[in-house]
Amino acid sequence: MSSRVCRTCGGSDIDVDQARGSAVCTSCGSVLEDNIIVSEVQFVEGSGGVSSAVGQFVSADGPVKAPLLGSGFHTSVGKESRAQTLQNGKRQIQQLGSQLQLNQHCLDTAFNFFKLVVSKHLTRGRKTEHVIAACLYLVCRTEGTPHMLLDLSDLLQVNVYILGKTFLLLARELCINAPAIDPCLYIPRFAHMLEFGAKTHEVSMTALRLVQRMKRDWMHTGRRPSGLCGAALLVAARMHKFRRSVKDVIGVVKVCQTTLRKRLTEFEDTPTSQLTIDEFMRVDLEQECDPPSFTAAQHKAKMQQLEQELAKKLDEVEGEISCYKDEIETELEKSRPKLRGIYAAYTKEVDPEDNGEVLSMPSEPEEVESEDVELQAATHHLTEDFLCQVIQEEEGHGMKGDREAEPEKESMGPHRQAASLTSILGQLPSAASLSLQQTFQTLDTSGGDEKDLGDHPQSEELDLEGIDDQEIDKYILNEKEVQVKTELWMKQNAEYLKEQKEKQERINKEKEEGTYKEKKKKKSKKQDQIEALTAGEAIERMLEKKKISSKINYDVLRDLNRGTGSPTRSPDHTPDTTVARKRLNRRRRRKTSDSNQDLAANTSIMGKRFRHLISSTPKKKTAHQVERTVSVVTETETPAETESNPPPDSAAETSPTLPTAPSPMEEEEEEEEEAEEECVSALQLVGDYGCDADEEEIF
Amino acid sequence: MDSSNDEALDIIITNVVATFRTRCHLNLRTIALEGTNVIYKPEVGKVLMKLRKPMITASIWSSGKIICTGATSEDEAKLGARRLARCLQKLGFKVRFSAFKVVNVLAVCSMPFAVNLINFTKNNRPIASYEPELHPAATYRIKNLKATIQVFSTGSLTVTGISLLTRLNTHRHIKYLTPFYVQLRRHIGLRD
């Protein structure tokens, strides 16, 4: 029916005959089209008088080749990997989707998502199952179906969080903004499962109201929607006089008992819970509540504050009490009869010892508090410093002799306190420690590396500054302890050790038998070198190995190969070599398309001459010569014409004495060239026969 | 962890994760048997060693790579790592301390108001994501600062990322987000 113009006469009156399938111009009679393709449906009568349409269903994204009839082929031979992946994915989506009772539209959308995912290479490194589940869940979310991620994970027996991770990633990559889950969506589904009979609708409506109330009371942020639904349904059921226990609800909603209870108590705390059933159905309270966790946190904060205040007050009271105590004591002392003579001496002796124990400025309150040093250490900075110096001294084995602290070493107090202090305060650097560490470092450096002490950050030498060796020793057990621990450990891990032993025995046995197959750990897929005598063989092998694409006609490639790849095999095969020559030249022409045409012509002529020479020379060397010609040609492309003359001659001279360059390299080069050649000549085979003529002309 | 001051926001670093290498092969069984406070996991192939003074847990692998977690500051992490190396040295391995690197920092902060997560996520669609079924907080990823912020409905935030190392950066994170929160605050302060 195309109103075209006739080619010969220009007339537009064209008669299209459907029966013959031809288009004829009525003015001049020339046939414009023969065998027109018609898009009609034909019917065939089958057995029993049933007429059926002729034709096959072909899917739009099916395989490139026509599907074979009859045998119900499932293993697709020669299909592309991508098509296979998609097909596989589609199948799995259908399977999983039907289990979830999703309609076809959803499944199609899911498949589209899957196609997007595959095209973005997000399936790499992930199980197809997970990816498909994520796609389906995406659809569920965008469509608003009452399916939870939990359902999917139940079906697949996979951890929810793993699926969730995949889902989040896909949603982000595909830039799909899934709307937030509304617990109201789940209510009808759960209500149905709880079997309320005729009253299901009413119960669901009540539950919906409850959920909305909960939402306004900020109970739903950060919580699983299913938990809220469960609580709402439970209350709604009770309101309508259905007896549903917590266990029933849990079974349907899939939350824990504790969660449900908690939600109920939270709801109880809201003012809405105080209303009666009728009031609730009619009235909506204006007031909104805070989220329960917020109130809890505030409550906690308040309690903490109170505690702090209390503690402060206690301290104050204590302080006052101690003040009073001191005053009373002083008063008492004053009122006591004073000791004279020997006794006075005794009283005086006591004081320096007391002071010694305090180890700090002898102020009374501080003395009291130094006993609970652990609590107040941070505030008594002087005490810390002093004590730490004492500790350092102990380590340094009395490096500093002129310390007042020496006599105090005898008392056990500082020892104990030292231990506790070090555990709390950490090592404060002091001259003693630094010097100590320096000696350590010098020892180490003299032993091992020659690294400078100077370059701290760069050196791998362990900087021992601030590390207490004694403490570290505590981390290491002594011999006896090691024995005990070894025993314990052996007992505990007996199974594991047994397994290891068995494995080892098995391996040894297999080794002896000679059937030992070492389990190779994830070898990177390196393509091993294709070894072949000639380029042609190499190409064939490569082709065999990997079918690159179904869109290439391999037969043509092989033919090409046969033509060019074997000047070595059959030097007498002059047509082949001429063909080869031509092909080489063609390649050269392509290569030299940028450079001077004349130069190229000359070189090609030279090359041809050279070829003649080649055909007479021995088989082995021809491969090399081919390579030589290439190098010659590439060289001669750039320099002047005159220079091109000597190189081929010299090359010809040196041809018998050509060194054997590494063959695989040459072959690879050849291979490359030939591959190039093939690409080129494939083009030519398809269309461009004009080149031949050009070649002849230059000749 | 209280932010009683309404003007300034207290950002407290609660966890610093660092890795380093000892440049020598370690025999895990020896460490397991001769060290205190160690847990040996032969299935995974590592030893967990816990230190007390900087409260640190270290995962030690036989290749000599060690991961230190639980420190409350970068310096503490380094100190803990060095102690650990010293301990291993004493056990008899030729330990060298190299390639110390802080890998991740976690900080906690609290807003004085509650946040409506659903609206928050709606307004910041591709950057923020909220999945109540999976996690109670909304995650907000800042790309240029390379940090992740988790927002809870109570108003507390956790910030995770390497860029938190400098104090300045942590404040930058919070400043970045405050305008978003201001949109959505509920005035809790009035109640008290």
Same domain for B26 and B96? yes
From B96, B131, B188, residue closest to A462, measured CB to CB: B96
The reply to whether residue A222 touches residue B98, judged by beta carbons under 8 angstroms, is no
pLDDT tens sequence across B153-182? 888 888 888 876 655 566 666 676 666 555
Burial of A566 per CB tally in 10 Å (0-12, 13-18, 19+): buried
| Last residue within a domain, chosen from B52, B86, B104 | B104
CA distance B54 to chain A (A): 9
| Number of domains present in the structure of chain B | 2
Query: Domain limits at B61?
Result: 17-104
Q: What is the rounded distance in angstroms from the CA atom of residue A682 to the CA atom of residue A685?
A: 5
Task: Quote the pLDDT of residue B70.
Answer: 92
Q: What pLDDT is recorded for position B168?
A: 54
Q: Residue A400's pLDDT is what?
A: 42
> Once rounded to an integer, what is the mean pLDDT over residues A80-84?
83
Closest CA to A145 of A119, A174, A178: A178
Judged by a CB distance cut-off of 8 A, whether residue A154 touches chain B is: no
Q: Which comes out higher in pLDDT, residue A416 or A395?
A: A395
Higher pLDDT, B174 or B83: B83
In this complex, do A164 and B42 lie within 8 Å of one another by their Cβ atoms? Answer: no
Contacts with A475 from chain B: Cβ below 8 Å: 35-37, 51, 87
Q: What is the pTM of this model?
A: 0.51
Say whether A95 sits in a helix, a strand or coil. helix
Last residue of a domain, one of B54, B82, B104: B104
Residue A506, CA atoms < 13 Å, CB-side half-sphere: 9
Q: Note whether B31 and B100 are same-domain residues.
A: yes
- Which one has a higher pLDDT value, A421 or A31? A31
| pLDDT tens digits for range A161-196 | 899 889 988 888 888 877 778 888 888 888 888 888
Q: Is B171 among the domain residues?
A: yes
Interface of A with B in 602-661 (CB under 8 A): none
Q: Does A646 score more than 50 pLDDT?
A: no
Task: Express each pLDDT in B9-32 by its tens digit.
Answer: 677 888 999 999 988 888 888 888
Does residue B135 sit in the same domain as residue B158? yes
Q: How far apart are CA A372 and CA A315, in angstroms?
A: 14
d(CA A296, CA B152): 14
Based on the fold, state whether residues B116 and B99 are members of the same structural domain. no
Is the predicted pLDDT of residue A694 greater than 60, yes or no? no
Q: Let me know if residue B1 belongs to a domain.
A: no
Name the nearest CA neighbour of B100 among B8, B31, B192, B16: B16
B96 with B134, same domain? no
Q: Give residue A668's pLDDT.
A: 43
Q: For residue A351, which phi and psi values (nearest 5 degrees)?
A: -60, -50
pLDDT at A621: 45
Measured between CA atoms, the residue of chain A closest to residue B189 is A298
Residues of chain A contacting residue B23, judged by C-beta atoms under 8 Å apart: 460
Phi, psi of A376 (to 5 degrees): -110, 10
- State how far the alpha carbon of A557 is from the alpha carbons of A552, A577, A681, in Å: 8, 18, 9
Question: Considering only A309-318, A383-392, A419-428, A678-687, which range has the smallest mean pLDDT?
Answer: A419-428
**Does the residue B11 lie in any domain?**
no
Put simply, the chain A residues between 110 and 149 with a CB less than 8 A from any chain B CB are 148-149
Residues B137 and B87 in one domain: no
Please name which of A424, A390, A388 lies closest in space to residue A408, comparing C-alpha atoms: A390
Which of these three, B104, B120, B154, is where a domain ends? B104
pLDDT of residue B189: 28
Q: Report yes or no: A425 at the B interface, CB cutoff 8 Å.
A: no
pLDDT at position A111: 92
Question: Does residue B34 sit in the same domain as residue B85?
Answer: yes
Q: Are residues B174 and B100 in the same domain?
A: no
Match 């989220």 to its residue by tokens.
A291
| Structure confidence at residue A130 (pLDDT) | 92
CB contact under 8 A, A294 and B114: yes
Which DSSP string do the residues of A440-506 spell out, in sequence order? HHHHHHHHS----SS-TTT--S---TT--HHHHHHTB--HHHHHHHHHHHHHHTHHHHHHHHHHHHH
What is the identity of the amino acid at A315?
D
Residue with tokens 């005053």: A327
**Residue partners of A497: CB distance under 8 A and separation at least 6:** A490
Under an 8 A CB cutoff, do B155 and A294 touch? yes
CB B73 within 8 A of CB B167: no
Query: What pLDDT, in 10s, does the model give residues A8-43?
Result: 888 888 888 877 788 888 888 888 888 877 777 788
Confidence of residue A340 (pLDDT cuts 50, 70, 90): low
> CA-based Rg of chain B, rounded to a whole angstrom?
20
- Range B112-119 average pLDDT: 78
**Could you tell me which chain B residue has the CA closest to the CA of A483?**
B33
Distance CA B151, CA B139 (A): 6
Per CB-CB distance under 8 Å, the chain B contacts of A297 are: 154, 156
B52 and B116 both lie in a single domain:
no
Q: How many residues does chain A have?
A: 699
Average pLDDT over residues A661-680: 44
Place of tokens 């909506």: A284
d(C-alpha A260, C-alpha A267), whole Å: 11
Which chain A residue has its CA at the smallest distance from B118's CA? A180
Q: Which of A118-132, A238-252, A281-295 has the highest mean pLDDT?
A: A118-132
Q: Determine the pLDDT at residue A550.
A: 66
What is the arithmetic mean of pLDDT over A509-538? 67
**Cα four-point dihedral sign A294, A299, A304, A306:** positive
Considering the domain architecture, whether residues B56 and B115 belong to the same structural domain is answered as no
Which of A92-101, A255-264, A306-315, A388-397 is predicted with the least confidence, judged by mean pLDDT?
Answer: A388-397
A488 touches B at CB < 8 Å: no
Q: What is the pLDDT of residue B176?
A: 66
Chain B interface includes A303 (CB < 8 A): no
Mean pLDDT of A623-627: 45
Task: Report yes or no: B117 at the A interface, CB cutoff 8 Å.
Answer: yes
Instruction: Measure in Å the smallest separation between the Cα of A368 and chain B Cα atoms.
Output: 27
Q: What is the mean pLDDT of chain A?
A: 68
Substitution target in A137, A161, A221, A423 with the highest count of B β-carbons within 10 Å is A221
Residue A42 pLDDT: 82
Q: Tell me the residues of chain B between 124 and 153 that have a Cβ less than 8 Å away from chain A.
A: 125-126, 129-134, 136-137, 152-153
- Whether A413 has a pLDDT exceeding 50, the answer reads no
Q: Rounded mean pLDDT of A395-422? A: 44
pLDDT of residue A683: 52
Q: Which chain A positions have a beta carbon within 8 Å of B44's beta carbon?
A: none
pLDDT above 90 (res A487) = no
Is there a single domain that holds both residue B89 and residue B25?
A: yes
Of the candidates B109, B107, B106, B121, the one whose C-alpha atom is nearest the C-alpha of residue B155 is B109
With tokens 């005990």, the residue in question is A484
Which position has the higher pLDDT, A541 or A425? A541
- Is there a contact between A604 and A620 (Cβ–Cβ < 8 Å)? no
CA B130 to chain A, closest CA, distance in angstroms equals 8
B4 located within any domain? no
Kindly determine whether residue B114 and residue A149, on different chains, have CB atoms separated by under 8 Å: no
B3: in domain: no
Judge if B41 and B59 occupy the same domain.
yes
- CB B36 to CB A475 under 8 A? yes
In a domain, B10, yes or no: no
Asked if residue A492 has pLDDT above 60, the reply is: yes
Contact A22, A36 (CB under 8 A): yes
Is B8 a member of any domain?
no
Top mean-pLDDT range of A156-170, A525-539, A582-596, B113-127: A156-170
Place of tokens 């555990």: A423
Closest of A174, A177, A60, A162 to residue A113, by C-alpha? A174
Describe the strand order of the beta sheet including B128-130 as a list of residue ranges. Answer: B38-41, B46-51, B56-61, B65-71, B12-21, B98-110, B156-161, B147-151, B138-142, B128-130
Q: Is A463 in Cβ contact with B133 (below 8 Å)?
A: no
Under 8 Å between Cβ of A648 and A610: yes
pLDDT of residue A636: 45
Q: Is the pLDDT of residue A415 over 60?
A: no
Q: Which residues of B touch A473 (CB under 8 A)?
A: 90
Question: What are the distances in angstroms from CA A306 to CA A253, A339, A358, B181?
Answer: 41, 49, 33, 29
* Structural element, H or E, at residue A119: helix A104-119
CATH of the domain at B61: 3.30.310.10
- Single-letter code of the amino acid located at B48: L
Average pLDDT over every residue of A268-292: 73
The confidence score (pLDDT) of residue A606 equals: 52
Residue A591 reports pLDDT greater than 80? no
Residue B5 lies in a domain: no
N- to C-terminal Cα distance for chain A?
52
